[in-house]
């Protein structure tokens, strides 16, 4: 399986998906036909979201179709070389994919060789469940199980910082709550600007920001750059 799971889409002072372009380029291996899944977008139209991604990735010479815009999404998935799942609201993303019967077809497309590219909510969707999303539960997705293409839980946009004086839970406290309920899980705190690339049977960390691994009853582990998860 080929997966590229990015924490997020934008870095300070940089354009939309700009840091992702060279990372994605390395994993294309000649693939050009992209099916883009825009359902995490809520406050922008899915057409506008697809156009934004086309513009951001123009230099890669891809052929990007919005899955909301094709006549037969399941047939299009079977032909896609890349399935690309954008960020936004994870609950809306999962709900729409489930309601349209697309979860299993996406899984099958990726298992049969399509490259899965996700950022933020799109990376959450590739995990066993969406229980490590940061998003607001604006809609009930009808169950939290997700694609389970990647075996660990990713927390995208990871930071343990809070706005000054804020008394809410830190991100680590939230992840510790999950690990209390499910002590066998492993959760990756993937900071903005980092990614995980799964290729040729290996899963490797990318990016220069410290990435944390959380397990129940252990202190958080700071992973080395280029860490291999498996």
User: Which residues bind to its own copies, rule: CB under 8 A?
Assistant: 8-12, 42-43, 88-89, 91-92, 130-140, 143-144, 157, 159, 161-169, 173-178, 180-182, 192
Nearer to its own copies, 72 or 166 (CB): 166
Q: Is 102 in contact with 80 (CB distance < 8 Å)?
A: no
Alpha carbon distance 123, 217 (integer Å): 25
Alpha carbon distance 178, 126 (integer Å): 18
Q: What are phi and psi of 78, to 5 degrees?
A: -65, -25
Q: What are phi and psi of 203, to 5 degrees?
A: -120, 115
Nearer to its own copies, 106 or 175 (CB): 175
Nearer to its own copies, 81 or 96 (CB): 96
Q: Is 126 in contact with 106 (CB distance < 8 Å)?
A: no
Alpha carbon distance 124, 120 (integer Å): 6
Shortest CB 160 distance to its own copies, Å: 9
Shortest CB 201 distance to its own copies, Å: 31
Shortest CB 142 distance to its own copies, Å: 9
Nearer to its own copies, 165 or 219 (CB): 165
Options 9, 120, 123, 197, the catalytic residue: 120
Residues constituting the chain: 230
Shortest CB 173 distance to its own copies, Å: 7
The encoded tokens of residue 15 equal 């354009």
Query: Which of the 8 DSSP states describes residue 224?
Result: P
- Look-up of token digits 């397990």: 215
Nearer to its own copies, 74 or 186 (CB): 186
Is 130 strand, coil or helix?
coil
Options 157, 199, 209, 227, the catalytic residue: 157
Q: Which residue, 3, 2, 1, 9, is CA-closest to 119?
A: 9
Annotation marks residue 140 as catalytic: no
Shortest CB 97 distance to its own copies, Å: 16
Annotation marks residue 157 as catalytic: yes
Annotation marks residue 68 as catalytic: no
Q: List the catalytic residues.
A: 120, 135, 157
């Amino acid at each position: 399986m080929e997966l590229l799971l990015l924490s997020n889409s934008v870095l300070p002072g940089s354009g939309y998906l700009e840091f992702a372009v060279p990372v994605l380029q390395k994993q294309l291996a000649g693939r050009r036909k992209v099916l883009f899944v825009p359902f995490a977008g809520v406050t922008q139209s899915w057409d506008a979201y697809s156009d934004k991604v086309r513009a951001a990735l123009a230099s890669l010479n891809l052929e990007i179709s919005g899955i909301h815009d094709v006549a037969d999404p399941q047939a299009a998935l079977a032909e896609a070389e890349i399935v690309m799942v954008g960020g936004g609201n994870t609950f809306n993303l999962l709900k729409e994919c489930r309601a349209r019967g697309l979860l299993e077809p996406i899984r099958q497309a990726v298992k049969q060789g399509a490259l899965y590219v996700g950022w933020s909510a799109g990376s959450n969707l590739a995990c066993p469940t969406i229980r490590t999303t940061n998003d607001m539960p604006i809609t009930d997705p009808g169950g939290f199980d997700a694609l389970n293409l990647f075996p660990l839980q990713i927390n995208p946009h990871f930071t343990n910082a809070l706005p000054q004086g804020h008394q809410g839970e830190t991100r680590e406290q939230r992840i510790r709550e999950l690990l209390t309920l499910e002590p066998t899980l492993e959760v990756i705190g993937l900071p903005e600007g980092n990614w995980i690339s799964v290729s040729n049977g290996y899963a490797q960390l990318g990016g220069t920001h410290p990435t944390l691994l959380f397990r129940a009853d252990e202190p958080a582990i700071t992973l080395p750059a280029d860490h291999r998860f498996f």
